[in-house]
Amino acid sequence: MKSVTIISDDRVGLLADISYILGKSSVNIEGLVVDVVGGRAVISLEVKDPKKAKDVLESNGFATARPDAIVIKVANSSVGKVTELLEGEKVHIQDMTTLSSDARTTVYAVNVDKPRKAAKMLAPFLIGNDANPDSFY
């Protein structure tokens, strides 16, 4: 399974709309993780055909993160430690985009040259993981 990440203003009925649009296009949602930060919903969907899901969602007005992005949530004071961790293990950050933030935490989409290694290293911060975003203190 591959994931597609949607970034949208949080609202009642958002998941229902996404489910309806994908179902109408015969895209089955295999897994779902939702996090809301700063009034923005960050929704990670596990699907068999991420390209089709991304195309369907974007054609219906939904913004999606790059399909190869690692989506993490960290304490605002910890982003430097995350980047140091990656660089220390020779994982080069190609792009890092802020998706949403509030007074305490920020959600980033991170694109790196070694995504599997980075995902393992950043596992405590992946969206949907119940770990504390302040793990780096």
pLDDT tens-digit series, residues 71-123: 899 999 988 999 999 999 999 999 898 888 999 999 998 999 999 999 999 99
What's the per-residue H, E or C state across the chain?
Answer: CEEEEEEEECCCCHHHHHHHHHHHCCCCCCEEEEEEECCEEEEEEEECCHHHHHHHHHHCCCEECCCCCEEEEEEHHHHHHHHHHHHHCCCCEEEEEEEEECCCEEEEEEEECCHHHHHHHCHHHECCCCCCCCCCC
For residue 136, pLDDT over 50 is answered with no
- β-pair partners for 88: none
**Do the domains at 2-64 and 70-125 have one common CATH topology?**
yes
Residue 131: other Cβ atoms inside 10 A: 11
Distance from C-alpha of 1 to C-alpha of 119, rounded to nearest angstrom:
15
In this predicted structure, what is the pLDDT of residue 126? 87
For residue 11, pLDDT over 50 is answered with yes
Distance from C-alpha of 46 to C-alpha of 72, rounded to nearest angstrom:
16
**Which class in CATH covers the domain with range 70-125?**
alpha beta
For residue 21, pLDDT over 60 is answered with yes
For residue 137, pLDDT over 50 is answered with no
What lies within 8 Å, CB to CB, of 128 at 6+ separation is 33, 34, 35, 44
Span 45-72, mean pLDDT?
A: 91
The CATH superfamily of 2-64 is: VC0802-like (3.30.2130.10)
Per-domain residue ranges for the chain?
A: 2-64, 70-125
In this predicted structure, what is the pLDDT of residue 3? 83
Q: What does pLDDT average to over the chain?
A: 88
Distance from C-alpha of 137 to C-alpha of 125, rounded to nearest angstrom:
13
In this predicted structure, what is the pLDDT of residue 35? 87
For residue 30, pLDDT over 70 is answered with yes
For residue 53, pLDDT over 90 is answered with yes
Residue at token pair 């219906």: 60
In this predicted structure, what is the pLDDT of residue 56? 97
